[in-house]
Structures are given as C-alpha cells and as structure tokens.
A and B are shown apart, each in its own frame.
Chain A
C-alpha cells in the first residue's frame, strides 16, 4: 500500500511501485486529464507537477512521487497562477484537438512559477519538449505572455 498526495488529497492504493505515475493517475485514479502520448518522455502530454516542478509522468516511477505534492491538470485551478494560465489559454483559444493541452498548460504553469518574467528563450526552452500536432505553438506563446502579464510578470 502506498500513499500519494494528489491535488491536495491523500490517496492510498495498492500498486507495483515501478509503475509509471501516468498509469497510476489514469488507470487507478481515473484522473484522465494527464495524457499518454509516447511513453518515453518525448512528447510531454503527460506533464504533471511534482513539488511544483514539471515532470514527465510516463517515465516517473510512482515510488519516486511518494511524499511529494503531485499536481495534475485537474488540480491546477487551485492556484492563482494555474487559474491565470488557464484563463489566458481560454482567451487566446489555444486548443484544437486538445489532446496535448494538459501537458502544455502544466509546462507553462511550471515555467511561470520559476520565471514570472520569462524571456522568449526561456519560453522556448520550457515548451520545446511538449509536442502539438495541430500547430498551436504560436497561440501557446501568446497565452504564456498573457498569463505572465496577468501575473504582473512580463510586460
């Protein structure tokens, strides 16, 4: 039996500790907002926060998340920053198919937490690992700038 703190709530579950966090979230807890895209940390669709830092849940064994604060897209709106990232995404109307967007938003929120005034290069570095086949990258960039401005960050 392991215990995981996800979006502020404790969850106790029976699972092989080597199982990637992604599949614990999805198959055990039905937190399906976190997506499977590649399984090898190449696409970032599974991006979640561990103690506020963006990680790829598909290559993170659940054992390494024990004792840490896990935040998924379902819990992102609990912070002001998370909410403003989501509202920037809404304003810019970023998503198309939408499948990668949880990962995009989680990566953007982690970036803005670390760098409230991100430079263009910092945005590119933070977002380069999150693939979008629908080509929403330019809108993602605008939404990040908008969210930063809302946070009193980038001008």
Chain B
C-alpha cells in the first residue's frame, strides 16, 4: 500500500502551470480539472450566514490513477495542517487515505480563511474555520461521484454507496473507482445541499493518524523557502540598521565588492543589500561594508529605562478594559491583600529556519517563493511595491521551518523588503536573513510591565482585583487596528486578563499602550503568553494567602458549567495532585487557562539542581472540543509546552542604546534536549465543535512552573525569564 505523499509544491524555475503539467505526466494520466461551477449558497459554519460555495475542484483533484490531491489553503509550519485538513475532506469524500497527496494552495479568494476573509494561517484557527467548510467540500465531491456512477449504470443514486475511493452498486456488484468517474462528475452541477456524517460514523476523524509530511521531513526532501534555487538567482544579505528605524547616511562597498562572487551592493529602504553567487560570499562582503547610520530616536531605547517608565505607567490609571463592581470599595473590605509588579521581556520567535524569500520579478509578473502564513497580505504588499496588480503576483508557499506568528507579519516586512531588493537588482534574488538578522530584526512579542493588586475576604475568597497592563499594541498602525481595537484597547493586549474566569465581585483591568520604535508582533498565543503568567501566579498567591489548596481554590471560584473545571480536575488527578508522594526536593505547581476557545491545565513537577531550575514532568489536560487527530493534539501540546518553557526559563530580548543585545542561540537559548521534561497529554472527551490547538498549550506552563517554585522555595517569581533569579 502506498503512503500518502506530499507533492513538492515548489519546483525550481517552473511555474505552477508547468509544474501541474509535469506532475500529470509523472502520474501517467490526466489530472482531471474537477471543474464545478458554483451556484446557490449554503452555510459554511453552523452559526454563520450563507456566504460562499466552495467548489470541490479548488480543493480536490482526482487523477485517472485514483490518486487524490488535496490542495491545502493553510501553511504547514509544524502544526499538522497538511494532515488534519485533508482528513476533513477525506472523511466525507470516502477517499482511500493511502492515495492522498497534498499540495499548497496558490493565492486566490476561494482559499480565504472563512473567518478572516483572506488567506492566513494563525490564531489556532485552521481546524475550527475549516471544520464545516472542508467537510462540505468533501461531501459535495462524493455526491457528484456517486451521481456520475448512478447515471452511467442507469440505477438510482440511493442504491449506490461510496467507500475507499470506489462507488459500489451492491445489487449488481458493479464498482467504479473515483479516477474513472472524476471526468463525468466534473460535468455535473454542484449539489444544492449535502448531508454531513454524524460523528459516530467517522472513519478517520478522531483516530490517531500519522503525519503526511513525515516521509519528506526525514530524508531531506521537504522543501523549505531556503531550499529554493531558481536559474540566475543571486543570494542577497542585507545590512540593516543596528537601531530600529535607522537609515543609511552614507556607505562604501569598495572592499566588499572585491570579494569573489559578489555581484553588487545596493541601497534599499531597509539598508544595504549585497548580492552574490551564494550565501558565503554575500556574508563575507556584507561584513566588509562601511556604513554610517542615521540612527534616529530608536537609539535612545534601553531596557532598564523602558522598564522604569513602564512600571511607572502601571501605577497610573489606563484605559479601562473591564470593570465589575468597585475595586476601591472592595479593597476597603478586604481581609488581606497583596500587590505586585511583573516584568516580562520582549521575545523573538526564533524559528529554526531564519526568514528568507525568493523573488523572480519580471516587468509584468512577480513570482515569490517563501514560507509565509499570510499570503493575501503579502501578495497585496508585493503588488503595490512592484506596481503590479495582485493577480500578477504569484506566491508559492513552501514548508515553514517554524512560524510561531513571525511569518504572518501585519506589514509583510520580509516579503516587502525582498520585492524592494528585486526591484533594485533586477535579477532573481533569494534574500536570506542570518540567524543574527532574524534574532535582531524585531517584530517581537511585546515587553510588558503589569501591576496587580488583589484582596481576599475573611472566608479567603477574592473580593477585589485591580490589574494594570503596560505594553505596545501589536495591531497599532496596521490594517488590523480597525477591527481588533475597540475604544483604544487592542483586544490581543488584554486577552486572558480582561476575561478571567474567576468570580470576583470587584474587578478592574486597565491598559496602557505606549509606542516606541521596536516593531512588535504576535508570538505563539499572543497576549495570553503574558497574561496567563500574571493571572495564574496571582491566583495561586491568593490561594496561599487564604490558606487553601490551589486546585480547590480555583474550583471554588469557577462557575459549575465552566470548561476550566474539567481540565483542571483531569490534570490534577493525572498528576497525582495532593496524593502522589514526590521525591524530596520536588514540588508541583498548577495553572489553567483558556485561549483560542480551548482550555488547558498543566501541572509541573520541579526541583532545583545546583540552584538551577529543573522541570521533571508536565501533565497537561486539554479540552479543545472534538478532536480531529489525537496524535496531532498530543504533538501540539508537547510543542506548545516546550515553546512556553523556553521563554519561561531563558527567553529575553533586551536593548542597550537601541541595540538588541542578543544575537544567536548562545545568548537567546531555547530549551535543549537535556532540559526536556517528561510530558503527558490527556484529552477531555467532547462533542463540541473543535477549537484551536496550536497555541493553547503555551500560556499555562510558565505560571505552573512559577507556582511549583513558590511551593518549593517560598519565592514568588514575578519576572521572566526565571533563569535570572537566584535560589541560593
């Protein structure tokens, strides 16, 4: 039996059309254009009005050899969409899973995210936004294949059924494969309505499935953006300003141009671009450039000074993001209270594959190969920059060597710059960011300072809570600002803080959104990456203040129907909370948080080894509604926990005179193999529609570890990363 395979979507120098021709030849048959003119409208999601019909031909190609190519409109960055999204289609299509191939979608409105209205992978939304849509796509195609078979045989459709890429007529014993029916099916009108399967009839959904992209990722054949080579291409490195917002005042490339293999040095908006026959000569030459910068106001930024200003702001009233009752009154009646300051740094995404873009710019056409999460925005920016229409810009989405949000830049920074370079050089270019460029290139998770004051009543229950957050808005001055900011409050700044689930009668959450030259961006779990830490460590502190068990304390504050309860109880029980005898010097900590409509509780077991924090085990429980691929959920939890632990223990980007002080993995250290805890993932069974899974595992890990460390040492960690603390 064949395994599902990946079609390499980016063939050197070949246009998409040429490539499709090529792949047809390779299959030894005709690729059937499953063309189905759209008509009528139907709901694509249970709670959404009818919007658009999704013709199966945009997502499914059935070849005469019965192979089925699923065109995936989300970017594969590790989160498993090249497996989970085809599962949605294959389930309803009744397709033979072993013959499924995957191809990345070109940019076209039919591939728009059903919620965002543009092609975008982010917000842990690929499954929830495709859940209805892609099952309908699969079901529509199945209906047409069955209809085509019934017509050919002259039998009622109701007597035919589809299974494993075959249509069968039980009475006559006749069967026809999808490959033989695709041509006739393609000529039939789209069905007006299709029935979707009941969960009890699922054959694929809910079963652990191996990733379709694994074979290509273990033999070196998977193509990432950096692996694209096209004829006549030059490799370009850019010397960018050492300070955000700086500009080139003057430069000399005399020495740089002497390096063998160097083609030229060009002034581009972001700095000086050095073009060469390969990475190495470009790098040598770039290091030899002499550049004088006009650094601008960014040169005044230093982390200690910014921290002081932020902490000052945190003690003043901001814009009110949420208000319940009267906190002033609440504190007056509080039996005990606590007040604390939190310091949370800028973070780089530091995906393993540094940013890169290949651009082939012709007078009337622009072809781009890159690992992007944001095709529609990137295409619009590329078109505007190159003075083309969007339909003259083609984007090939390669595999992404990690995304974590960085590859969905609201300003399309890396694509914009690469097109500017192509315009200056007038030859095909591959713009490569070195690790240092990537690390120092900004677009960080914002730095935050929070001030929080909380009080409990005599019975230990929280009676007042006042939380003030200070940090840059991610969407400020971007096209997202209009619909993600309300009354001056960026929803992503206060998510996880303004909507805390605990019942507290007097509660206020204020926000300050200072502006500065450091570009900021969404980073796996966005606002939750910082708010969960602040909220869940403070709640833990209140539990201790009240002399209550942290799990019981939280449960007592959560409404009966709350989905937080299920995950909290499951994680606690699986971790042996309050029951398991821990080795001497070990302690447990817990945290629970909702993000992207999914609920995750994590229990961390920690100790100190020679004053160094050691995480032994993490027990996670997740409620993300119905599960498509349990193995995928498990992978994403493992991944999100490691991503969160890297930040909790080690992650910080700091500035001195506007310069980023970290440059590579020696001073911005992701979690290593030797630091890896054992991770257990438990899934809450649910019949609710699926919610996000790529990000929700990240927020609870930092507070779970901090809470465990408090139990262990009596020391409250209110600054990230934790490796700056001394436990001597």
- Contact between A97 and B399, CB atoms less than 8 A apart: yes
Task: Output the nearest chain B residue to A97 by Cβ-Cβ distance.
Answer: B78
* Residue B623 at the chain A interface, CB threshold 8 Å: no
* Complex: A134 Cα to B697 Cα, angstroms: 12
In which size bucket is the chain A interface? 35 or more
Q: Which of B217, B403, B434 has the most CB of A within 10 A?
A: B217
* Residue A9 at the chain B interface, CB threshold 8 Å: no
- Contact between A134 and B435, CB atoms less than 8 A apart: no
> Contact check: which of B218, B227, B279 meets A101 at CB < 8 Å?
B218
Within 8 A of A (CB), among B395-428: 399-404
- Contact between B351 and A133, CB atoms less than 8 A apart: yes
Within 8 A of B (CB), among A38-90: 38-40, 42-43, 45, 72-74, 76-77, 86, 89-90
- Contact between A95 and B665, CB atoms less than 8 A apart: no
Known contacts A133-B350, A133-B404: does B673 contact A39 (CB below 8 Å)?
no
Task: Output the nearest chain B residue to A132 by Cβ-Cβ distance.
Answer: B352
* Residue A110 at the chain B interface, CB threshold 8 Å: no
Task: Render A89-101 as a binary contact track against B, CB cut-off 8 A, 1 for contact.
Answer: 1100111111111
> Contact check: which of A34, A42, A128 meets B664 at CB < 8 Å?
A42
* Residue B224 at the chain A interface, CB threshold 8 Å: yes
- Contact between A102 and B220, CB atoms less than 8 A apart: yes
* Residue A146 at the chain B interface, CB threshold 8 Å: no
* Complex: A8 Cα to B73 Cα, angstroms: 40
* Complex: A114 Cα to B502 Cα, angstroms: 55
- Contact between A36 and B674, CB atoms less than 8 A apart: no
How many whole Å from B679's CB to the nearest CB in chain A? 6
- Contact between B643 and A99, CB atoms less than 8 A apart: no
Task: Output the nearest chain B residue to A40 by Cβ-Cβ distance.
Answer: B664
Say which one of B54-62, B525-533, B559-567, B634-642 lies at the interface with A: B634-642
- Contact between A32 and B223, CB atoms less than 8 A apart: yes
Within 8 A of A (CB), among B194-248: 210-211, 213-224, 226-227, 229, 235
> Contact check: which of B220, B643, B666, B679 meets A138 at CB < 8 Å?
B679
Residues of chain A with a CB closer than 8 A to B666's CB: 40, 42
* Complex: A131 Cα to B670 Cα, angstroms: 7
Task: Output the nearest chain A residue to B676 by Cβ-Cβ distance.
Answer: A137
* Complex: A127 Cα to B671 Cα, angstroms: 12
Within 8 A of A (CB), among B641-697: 641-643, 646, 664-666, 670-674, 676, 678-679
* Complex: A96 Cα to B666 Cα, angstroms: 23
* Residue B132 at the chain A interface, CB threshold 8 Å: no
How many whole Å from A99's CB to the nearest CB in chain B? 3
- Contact between A135 and B638, CB atoms less than 8 A apart: yes
Within 8 A of B (CB), among A93-126: 93-102, 105, 124
* Residue B519 at the chain A interface, CB threshold 8 Å: no
Chain A at the B interface: SS class:
loop
> Contact check: which of A30, A93, A128 meets B674 at CB < 8 Å?
A128
* Residue A10 at the chain B interface, CB threshold 8 Å: no
> Contact check: which of B77, B79, B665, B674 meets A42 at CB < 8 Å?
B665
* Residue B278 at the chain A interface, CB threshold 8 Å: yes
Known contacts A100-B352, A131-B665: does B218 contact A86 (CB below 8 Å)?
yes
How many whole Å from B224's CB to the nearest CB in chain A? 6
* Complex: A23 Cα to B211 Cα, angstroms: 30
Residues of chain A with a CB closer than 8 A to B229's CB: 30, 32
- Contact between A96 and B219, CB atoms less than 8 A apart: no
How many whole Å from B428's CB to the nearest CB in chain A? 14
How many whole Å from B95's CB to the nearest CB in chain A? 21
* Complex: A128 Cα to B277 Cα, angstroms: 34
* Residue B260 at the chain A interface, CB threshold 8 Å: yes
Task: Render A15-32 as a binary contact track against B, CB cut-off 8 A, 1 for contact.
Answer: 010011001001110111
Task: Output the nearest chain A residue to B350 by Cβ-Cβ distance.
Answer: A133
Within 8 A of A (CB), among B260-293: 260, 277-281
* Residue A130 at the chain B interface, CB threshold 8 Å: yes
> Contact check: which of B77, B214, B401 meets A93 at CB < 8 Å?
B214
- Contact between B218 and A95, CB atoms less than 8 A apart: yes
How many whole Å from B682's CB to the nearest CB in chain A? 16
* Complex: A84 Cα to B675 Cα, angstroms: 26
How many whole Å from A45's CB to the nearest CB in chain B? 6
* Residue B80 at the chain A interface, CB threshold 8 Å: yes
Within 8 A of A (CB), among B75-102: 76-80
- Contact between B210 and A98, CB atoms less than 8 A apart: no
Known contacts A134-B639, A138-B638: does B353 contact A35 (CB below 8 Å)?
yes
* Residue B725 at the chain A interface, CB threshold 8 Å: no
Task: Output the nearest chain A residue to B213 by Cβ-Cβ distance.
Answer: A98
Q: Which of B223, B631, B643, B673 has the most CB of A within 10 A?
A: B673
* Residue B589 at the chain A interface, CB threshold 8 Å: no
Residues of chain A with a CB closer than 8 A to B442's CB: none
* Residue B390 at the chain A interface, CB threshold 8 Å: no
> Contact check: which of B78, B226, B279 meets A35 at CB < 8 Å?
B226
* Residue B179 at the chain A interface, CB threshold 8 Å: no
Task: Output the nearest chain B residue to A99 by Cβ-Cβ distance.
Answer: B401
* Residue B625 at the chain A interface, CB threshold 8 Å: no
Known contacts A37-B435, A43-B352, A86-B218: does B278 contact A99 (CB below 8 Å)?
no
- Contact between B673 and A124, CB atoms less than 8 A apart: yes
* Complex: A135 Cα to B277 Cα, angstroms: 35
* Complex: A38 Cα to B76 Cα, angstroms: 22
* Residue B354 at the chain A interface, CB threshold 8 Å: yes
Residues of chain A with a CB closer than 8 A to B351's CB: 97, 99, 133
Residues of chain B with a CB closer than 8 A to A38's CB: 435, 664-665
- Contact between B278 and A23, CB atoms less than 8 A apart: yes
How many whole Å from B372's CB to the nearest CB in chain A? 14
> Contact check: which of B226, B353, B631, B672 meets A128 at CB < 8 Å?
B672
Q: Which of A27, A77, A127, A134 has the most CB of B within 10 A?
A: A134
* Residue A6 at the chain B interface, CB threshold 8 Å: no
- Contact between A95 and B401, CB atoms less than 8 A apart: no
- Contact between B227 and A32, CB atoms less than 8 A apart: yes
How many whole Å from A19's CB to the nearest CB in chain B? 5
Residues of chain B with a CB closer than 8 A to A133's CB: 350-352, 402, 404, 642-643, 646, 670
Task: Output the nearest chain A residue to B678 by Cβ-Cβ distance.
Answer: A138
* Complex: A151 Cα to B216 Cα, angstroms: 23
* Complex: A73 Cα to B229 Cα, angstroms: 19
> Contact check: which of A37, A93, A105, A137 meets B211 at CB < 8 Å?
A93
Known contacts A23-B279, A93-B211, A96-B80: does B642 contact A137 (CB below 8 Å)?
yes
Q: Could you list 17 A-B pairs, sorted by A, with CB under 8 Å?
A: A23-B280, A35-B226, A35-B401, A37-B665, A42-B666, A43-B352, A43-B435, A89-B218, A90-B214, A97-B400, A97-B403, A101-B218, A124-B674, A131-B352, A135-B671, A138-B638, A141-B673
- Kindly list 15 other residue pairs between chains A and B, CB separation below 8 angstroms, not including A35-B226, A99-B401, A135-B643: A16-B260, A19-B280, A31-B220, A33-B221, A35-B353, A37-B354, A45-B352, A77-B219, A95-B218, A96-B78, A97-B76, A98-B401, A124-B673, A131-B670, A131-B672
Binding site for B on A (CB under 8 A): 16, 19-20, 23, 26-28, 30-40, 42-43, 45, 72-74, 76-77, 86, 89-90, 93-102, 105, 124, 127-141
Closest 9 CB pairs of A and B: A33-B220, A135-B642, A99-B401, A98-B217, A97-B78, A96-B78, A27-B278, A73-B220, A32-B227
